[in-house]
Each structure stands twice: as C-alpha cells, then as structure tokens.
Amino acid sequence: MIVPNYYQHYSPGRIIAGFDALKRIPGEMKRLGCKRAMVVTDKGVVAAGLIKHVKEAFTGSGETIAHVFDDSPPDSSNVAVNTLAGLFKKHTCDIFLAVGGGSALDTAKAANIVISEKTDDLLNLQGAENIEADLIPTIAVPTTAGTGSEVTRAAIIYNEEKQVKMLFGADKLYPSVALLDPKMTATVPPKITAATGLDALTHSIEAFTGLQKNPIDDAYARAAIELIATYLIRAVENGSQDMEARLGMANAALFAGVSFSNAMVGVVHSTAHACGAVCHVPHGMANGILLPWCMEYNLPRVAQYIAELSGPLGAEPTYLDTYEQAKVTIQLVRNLEKRLNELCGLPLRLRDAGVTADKLPLIAKVAVNDGCLMYNPLDVSYDDALDILRKAF
C-alpha cells in the first residue's frame, strides 16, 4: 500500500441497510425535522409496485407523502428537473424522498439545487463546488445496485438543448440518508442488474487506479469488488429470490459510491458519458463495454494497482510479475462480462449497444471535454479516445 502525501475523504450521510429498512423512513424524516415528502421516481419503478412498499412504510406515522413525481427520464434532464422543482414548491414539501436508479436520484439532487439556489438555469452551476446554499434534506432509496448516487457528491443531468451531460459535484449534494432494502431491487430485470453491477465495478476500479486513490477509498473499492465478484452473477441468475445477493450488490454499489465520490473516476466514465450523450447508450452498459479497453490503456502507468485487484476478483495466488498479473485482472473482468452476456445478452461491443461507426469521432470529441479525464492516471487525447472507442466498437 502506498500512502499519498496528501488526500481527503468525506462521507457524511447516514447509512441504513438491511431487510425491511424501508420502515425507518418516517423516523428518519422526523429526525430531520420534516413532515411532507416529495417522492421522486420513474414510471418503471411505479409499474414494478415498489412505491407501494414505500407508502406502506408511512402507515400509522405522522409523516406523509405529499406528492409522487414519476417523470424522471432514463437520462435525467434539465427539463424534468425544473418541472420537479416547481411541483416541490407547489405541494409545500420539505424533503426529497428519491426512489429509483441514478436518474431519479440525480433528478432529485438537481431539483434541490434549483430550489435552494433560487435559479432556473443549471448551466450556471455545473462543475465543481459551485453550490453555496444549504440544500433541502434528501433520503435516497436506490432501486438498482450500480450508480452509488445515494452516497455521492455528484449528479449528471442531460441538457436537452445542447445535447451534453452536465456534471455537478459538491459536498452539499450528499444525500442526508442512504437507505438500502433488498426488496427494492428484487424486480430489476437480469440485463439491467448486470449493467448496473458493471457500473459499480467500474466505479471501484477507476477509484482504485486513479490519481486521487487513497487508503480509505481503496478499502471501500476492494470491498465493493469482492462483493461484486461474489454476488453479481447470482443476482442476475436469480435476483427475484436471492435476497442475500441483492443485499450484497446493494452494499457493493454503496461502497463503490463512497469510494469514487472521493477518489473520482477517469477515462471509462468520460467515454461512457459521451456514448450516452451522443448515442443514448445506458450508462452502466457503456461503462461495462469500455472498462477492459480503458484498463488496457492505463496499464502502462498503473499496472501495480490493476494487479492488486486480481485477488478481489477471485484469482488464485500466483507468482506472475506485476504486468502479467495486471493482465490477469483485465481478463477476469472480460470473463465476468462474457458470462453476463451469456446469461442475459448484455452487449460486449459498442456496435451491439446502438452505436454506429460514423458517431465515434463525435463521441471522442465529447469525451475529451469531460471533466472526469482530469483524474485519469494517463492523459487522453482525442486520438487516444478515438482509438479506445474503435477497439470497443
């Protein structure tokens, strides 16, 4: 382990994880001094019957659900954010209860910015540490095990007019409470379970190998990777019944979220964000496709760190040199992704995810302007990004 000369770690939210954890929602609202919740979700979560579980948690309590906003889009947008902010004020809510995947959670975070900063133009506040107002309390209940948004200082919002994804990063954005209940992920289809699991894996690997890695977040990242290696295949194979696997993956996503929110991510996310912005490839799917190719790109600089992850991914002890051990790690990632492809058809190539070859230059151009690149261990030029994309195509 190498201890850097300087690092920071901050993870202020309260974490509640376990079976029937939803029952704690009213008590947490009371602790935060709140009475009227705005539930932020999407139509898929509603159709799966998950909001029913949330409503049941309020039975007999003095707290209430004032309104359910179920129009969070697959890629959270500035239009949805502004609509939600208006409804929050209209229904005199005092807390966000975000129930969903990363898009719903990010929609709640961004609407919180709009209300608290008294603005209707998110463009003015994108970037790092541009939020000065104290935000409204938020309880985050993830319904996928991937984004880690329930414990992160970030939100990604799609600007519909400019067709780019805007990144918001600030300590103010950490949710007040992250609440993990395995029954809230039990209905996630196998392909989405796989994609979100690879999202969490990408968070962990990029945090562990990036420029801001540190001993605390390394520990979170390694724990997340071990959980993913143990439980992701089980969750894909039998996610509706295997609640142990669902709880394991929920914790993996949370640990990965804590890790990358401090240590940050790199070229995988930059290229994946661009694939989402240009071709609307789902984020976890894009991360999974690009991950091994980007690990290979960074290999000359961080072979030691990549090699250290072969154990958490399930490799037996070997006597290989560092570079060869790192290649074992990358192959283990490929093996996992191949198995997921066999189980649920998760794409292994960009062309199978809806990307066309003529879009690769634009994706590369968008990628090199993504802020995540500043934390990547190697510099990435336009030509480098295009080469990675062509290999992944």
Name which of 271, 269, 232, 268 is nearest 248 in CA terms: 232
Q: Any idea what DSSP says for residue 171?
A: G
Q: Any idea what DSSP says for residue 2?
A: -
Helix (H, G, I), strand (E, B) or coil at 260: helix
Would you state the pLDDT for residue 158?
Answer: 82
pLDDT digits (tens, 9 = 90+) for 35-46: 999 999 999 999
| Averaged pLDDT for residues 67-78 | 92
pLDDT surpassing 90 at residue 274: yes
Q: Give 10's contacts (C-beta < 8 A, 6+ positions apart).
A: 153, 171, 174, 262
| Averaged pLDDT for residues 196-221 | 98
User: Containing H/E element for 167?
Assistant: strand 164-169
How far is residue 297's CA from residue 287's CA, in Å, rounded to a whole number?
A: 15
Identity of residue 55: K
| Averaged pLDDT for residues 184-199 | 97
pLDDT surpassing 90 at residue 159: no
Mean pLDDT (the chain, rounded): 95
Instruction: Say what angle helices 243-263 and 190-209 make with each other, to 10 degrees.
Output: 30
Name which of 169, 379, 125, 355 is nearest 266 in CA terms: 379
How far is residue 149's CA from residue 260's CA, in Å, rounded to a whole number?
A: 10
Helix (H, G, I), strand (E, B) or coil at 349: coil
pLDDT digits (tens, 9 = 90+) for 324-351: 999 999 999 999 999 999 999 999 999 9
pLDDT surpassing 90 at residue 31: yes
Name which of 290, 274, 297 is nearest 362 in CA terms: 274
How far is residue 99's CA from residue 185's CA, in Å, rounded to a whole number?
A: 11
| Averaged pLDDT for residues 258-286 | 95
250: confidence class by pLDDT, cuts 50, 70, 90: very high
161: confidence class by pLDDT, cuts 50, 70, 90: confident
How far is residue 191's CA from residue 236's CA, in Å, rounded to a whole number?
A: 7
How far is residue 276's CA from residue 268's CA, in Å, rounded to a whole number?
A: 12
pLDDT digits (tens, 9 = 90+) for 283-311: 999 999 999 999 999 999 999 999 999 99
CB-count burial class (<10 Å; 0-12, 13-18, 19+) for 123: middle
Contact, 174 vs 275, CB < 8 A?
Answer: no
Would you state the pLDDT for residue 122?
Answer: 83
pLDDT surpassing 80 at residue 163: no
How far is residue 25's CA from residue 30's CA, in Å, rounded to a whole number?
A: 9
